[in-house]
Amino acid sequence: MVSPSHFAAFAALVFLMVVVPGPSVLFTVSRALTVGRRDALITVLGNAAGVYTQVVAVAFGLGAIVQTSATVFTVIKLAGAAYLVYLGVQAVRHRRKLSEALAAAAPATRGRTLTVLRDGFVVGFANPKSIVFLAAVLPQFVDHAAGGVVAQILVLGIALPVIAVVSDSAWALVAGTARAWFARSPKRLELVGGTGGLVMIGLGAGLALNGRKD
């Protein structure tokens, strides 16, 4: 069983990591600007699910493999980078359609919701920085003498997606509000859509070029 003190200590560390704006925040803001507040919030949920899948992977040994295998680390890193670049390219390509989509205000469909969740999940799960953080830090808060190591990791790991959802949702709401101002002008909306796409492309490129130290 996880002790309250261990959980609180890990949660405090996660909070410090999450609240400092980083790639996940930039990704969330970019999504809010390019696809809107609703889809950005759904993306946040998908991202959190992807991150918690990392927690599960760490609990069952993948974290140790990622730490020791440069090949596995590189594959995960490049997969996440490629998907970010893909989403950014799509945003840039369709930037002129943003005003039309906003004016149409089409009702959300189950298929679209699942697609947006998938986008967030893939980026969250393929984020090498968070899985390395989890693999290196999370086991240090486990009480091995108490037993149930896997269960402890799964419980402790809940702190990361929960805190991330709260923090990233706040960023999504702020960026969504800014998007509403840009939406008053098709030109401004086109500009912000293209900029958001370029940010995602830059994030993907930066992730791909980062070395093993990440």
pLDDT in tens, 97-130: 555 544 444 455 667 889 999 989 988 888 777 7
Residue 129 CB coordination number (10 Å)? 16
**Beta carbons of 131 and 66 less than 8 angstroms apart:** yes
Burial string for 71-100 (b: 16+ CB within 10 Å, else e) reads eebeebbeebbebbbebbeebbebbeebbe
pLDDT number for residue 62: 67
**Beta carbons of 169 and 24 less than 8 angstroms apart:** no
Below-70 pLDDT ranges, the chain: 20-23, 62-69, 72-73, 80, 94-110, 182-193, 207, 210-214
Verdict on whether the full-model pTM lies above 0.75: no
pLDDT number for residue 212: 47
Three-class SS of 125-152: HCCHHHHHHHHHHHHHHCCHHHCCHHHH
Sequence ranges of the domains in the chain: 4-16+23-205
